Amino acid sequence: MSAVVDDDAIPARPESSESRTFARAVKDLRDGLASRELWFHLGWQDIKQRYRRSALGPFWITIATAVTATAMGLLYGELFGMDIKVFLPYVTLGFIFWNFIESSILDGSEVFSKNEGLIKQLPAPVSVHVYRVVWRALIIFAHNVAIIVIVFLIFPPPIGWSAFLVVPALVLYMLNSIWVTIVFGILSTRFRDIGQLLTTAVRLVFFMTPIIWTTTSLSNATGETSSRLKLVELNPMFHYLEIARGPLLGQPVEFYHWAVVLGCTAFGWILGMLVMRNYRARVAYWV
Amino acid sequence: MAKKNIAPDTRVRVDTWDACVDFPIFDAKTRSLKKSVIGAAGGVIGANASNVVVVEALKNINIHLKHGDRVGLVGHNGAGKSTLLRLLSGIYEPTRGACRVQGRVAPVFDLGVGMDPEISGYENIIIRGMFLGMTRKEMLKKIDDIAEFTELGDYLQMPLRTYSTGMRVRIALGVVTSIDPEILILDEGIGAVDAEFMKKARGRLQALVERSGILVFASHSNEFLAQLCDRALWIDKGEVRMEGGIDEVVEAYEGPAAAAHVRKIMAEVKADDSTKASE
């Protein structure tokens, strides 16, 4: 009969602080990538569940974005007296990229508390849920690509090879989406107010970011442009939108936008790794 | 129990060293509970350094399991059995002390976790397997076997929401008993199926236990414990109160009558095994 406490074969006790190391955080991220079959499925299931038994299914994403972007483009274009040929693609693109940012922040902040059941029943890496959020945001984005195509057919933009700069921009979006989900997801699992706070903050930032207005309309409206423009420049979301929207509109994107985004990405990942190291193991306790 | 055909795998191990699990309860009022309260059921309630109410669900757990160990857990409701199972599956990392799990863990706390009511029975079989650590490919290989076991036939193409509870349990049991885990963690509550089917499921469950390297099983059913395990741990107020053979532990926990019943079942199992061996 085998002994439960088998004295002669007990392995040496590891350092008890083992669970709070960067090595474990990195391992979690790597193991999460390895179980991609699981989060591929979970991400799809999230989308399918939302549009279950509707005839158009996930294409409601496309329709909703198209309607909102068109309405806002027409309305604000009229209000600011913009050329619709330029302004409608601008609003549509801004809106689609903003949707990606917004869903990473908001879905990311509630992903752990919403999946309490799974977390308490599966010894899966925490990052599985992180990748699931990013993957879901990507699926939604892919549905919106159809709108970009249609808008470009109606209003052909002056774009060339530089349009492909949108690819590295999207990669940066995904990298940011990962750390945002880690940081906000874990923190708002512990402090449930953070999720609510983020919902409010995100809506505010939407209006403060040039999406349904442009930096030029800002300077047209009044004489004192410099201080207002500075305020826009301080908003990191402005730079995130510029690097993705600019290439597709055929606008040259100044290097400092990329620099700001790269800086934010690096800073965010450092923050994300610190949160992963210190609180990864706490998620199961907090949900 | 039978563990003849398995070559012992020294890599598969579960070890804990003075592992403690403390739950912070953020929404409980700290002040009224400043003095630690010890109740008959549930863990010890106290407060930690930052004045958050803490439930000490597990305290100083030292368990060392290796390939071939089949351990049953007994104890009151709230004694910490499920929490211990979660600690041993690596879901909770200990707040103090250490725990190391080596090997592929398949924890079964809830038969239905990960089941999606809107997709077909077939799809659910594959997905449930993925939740238990299998790959899609491995599940595709097993799907015919599982489909046959569930006896649901063409019904497997219907969405799961059209199934009765019993049919869902059939699918869940079919999947759970088809996997090849290195460490199998079973919580109580498998047994809401009709008796005829249960007899069939029990055989598969036993085969599963024989396949898996380590079994930890929490149950209130002494019959089940005696059939599947050879050691038992009595968990009480978050600590291991006693460990030993199932009959000894059950005797201490429930009295001599229950122990006699356990011994009878153990003798039956043994007789069963020897007739199987001689066949």
B98 with A14: Cβ contact below 8 A:
yes
Q: Return the percentage of chain A with pLDDT > 70, whole number.
A: 93
| Tokens standing for residue B243 | 């460990």
Using alpha carbons, list the distances in angstroms from residue A278 to A18, A19, A186, B193, B275: 11, 8, 10, 44, 55
Domains of chain A: total: 1
A-chain residues within 8 Å CB-CB of B109? 120-121
Within a domain: residue A14? no
Mutate to test the interface with A, among B12, B64, B140 (most CBs of A within 10 A): B64
Q: How far is A261 from chain B (nearest CA, A)?
A: 35
Contacts of B161 (CB under 8 A, 6+ apart): B117, B118
H or E segment at A258?
Answer: helix A255-279
- Dump the DSSP string for A128-156: HHHHHHHHHHHHHHHHHHHHHHHHHHHS-
Question: What per-residue confidence (pLDDT) applies to A55?
Answer: 86
Q: How confident is the model at residue B279 (pLDDT cuts 50, 70, 90)?
A: low
B-chain residues within 8 Å CB-CB of A53? 118
Within a domain: residue A256? yes
Distance, CA of A96 to CA of B257 (rounded, Å): 70
Within a domain: residue A7? no
Within a domain: residue A228? yes
Contacts of B253 (CB under 8 A, 6+ apart): B74, B75, B234, B242
Question: What per-residue confidence (pLDDT) applies to A222?
Answer: 58
Question: What per-residue confidence (pLDDT) applies to A91?
Answer: 93
Q: Return the percentage of chain B with pLDDT > 90, whole number.
A: 18
Task: Give pLDDT tens digits for A204-248.
Answer: 999 999 998 888 777 655 556 667 778 888 999 999 999 999 999
Distance, CA of A219 to CA of A224 (rounded, Å): 7
**Of the candidates A207, A185, A211, the residue with the CA atom closest to the CA atom of residue A198:** A185
* Structural domain boundaries enclosing A68: 21-286
Regarding an ipTM greater than 0.90, the answer is no
Within a domain: residue A57? yes
Burial classification of residue A124, based on how many CB atoms lie within 10 Å of its CB (0-12 exposed, 13-18 middle, 19 or more buried)? buried
Q: Which residue has the higher pLDDT, B216 or B191?
A: B216
Answer whether A224 touches B (CB < 8 Å): no
Ramachandran region, residue B218 (left: φ > 0; alpha: ψ -120 to 50; beta: rest): beta
Q: How confident is the model at residue B8 (pLDDT cuts 50, 70, 90)?
A: low
A121 with B17: Cβ contact below 8 A:
no
What residue spans define the domains of chain B? 105-180
Nearest CA in chain A to B23: A285
- Number of A to B CB contacts under 8 A, please give it: 93
pTM of the model: 0.86
Q: Return the percentage of chain A with pLDDT > 90, whole number.
A: 56
Task: Give pLDDT tens digits for A152-186.
Answer: 899 888 878 888 999 999 999 999 999 999 999 99
